[in-house]
Amino acid sequence: MVCVCLAISASYELIEWGVAEATGTAADAFLGTQGDVWDTQWDMFFALIGSICSWAVLFKIHDRYLRQIKGET
């Protein structure tokens, strides 16, 4: 789950980079970085933190539903 979240985040950052390269000066309006050179790294870091937190909160519920589907108690 964490790797999928990071893969999606990285894909979006690559799309942002591609748009920035294609549009040149209009990149700041699309990226919305507000001058933060670490915006990409922050985005991916918070995607990592969010995916770990959601896994920590939801893994027991997920396991319980899987046991119900298999017919276990």
Residues 26-47 pLDDT 10s: 666 666 666 677 888 999 999 9
pLDDT-derived band at 57 (thresholds 50, 70, 90) equals very high
Residue in this structure with the two tokens 């995607």, named with its chain if needed: 47
Mean pLDDT, the chain, integer: 85
Residues 6+ apart with CB under 8 A from 18: none
The pLDDT value recorded for residue 32 is: 63
Instruction: Specify whether the CB–CB gap between 13 and 43 falls below 8 A.
Output: yes
The pLDDT value recorded for residue 61 is: 94
Nearest alpha-carbon partner for 32 in 16, 47, 18: 16
57: phi then psi, degrees, rounded to nearest 5: -80, -35
d(CA 46, CA 69): 33
The model scores a pTM over 0.75: no
